[in-house]
Amino acid sequence: QVQLVESGGGLVQPGGSLRLSCAASGSIFSIYTMRWYRQTPGKQRELVAAITSGGITNYADSVKGRFTISRDNAENTVHLQTDNVTPQDTAVYYCSYRVISSAGTEYGPHSWGKGTLVTVSS
């Protein structure tokens, strides 16, 4: 089992910077995809960004050009950051983890963190 803990959320002013972190622990495989999702009450959870252990990234159109997903020196930590948040970025942000097989395909269920709330307001 993989445990994920998100951090870095809080109150941010429009145009400000945001840096979220997701720390993974437990039975971590060496090949995986980690993703950031976000959800606003009453709306479906949406994918924000993804990164594989090989460094391949993908972004939703709503954040492309503003958000960056990355890994730090610790292989079990992923970040999501921007220097220009908007009120539309207000949401609970969730981190997920999923294993990639030796054949190059994902398998099994996602592991999820409990989320961190980001509120963008002046």
**What is the CB-side half-sphere exposure of residue 60 using CA atoms within 13 A?**
13
The tens digit of pLDDT for each residue in 57-92 reads 999 999 999 999 999 867 789 999 999 999 999 999
The tens digit of pLDDT for each residue in 12-45 reads 999 999 999 999 999 887 899 999 999 998 899 9
The residue ranking higher by pLDDT, 109 or 116, is 116
Per the rule left: phi > 0, alpha: psi between -120 and 50, beta: everything else, 42 is: left
User: Which element (helix H / strand E) includes 39?
Assistant: strand 32-39
Token pair for 95: 């981190």
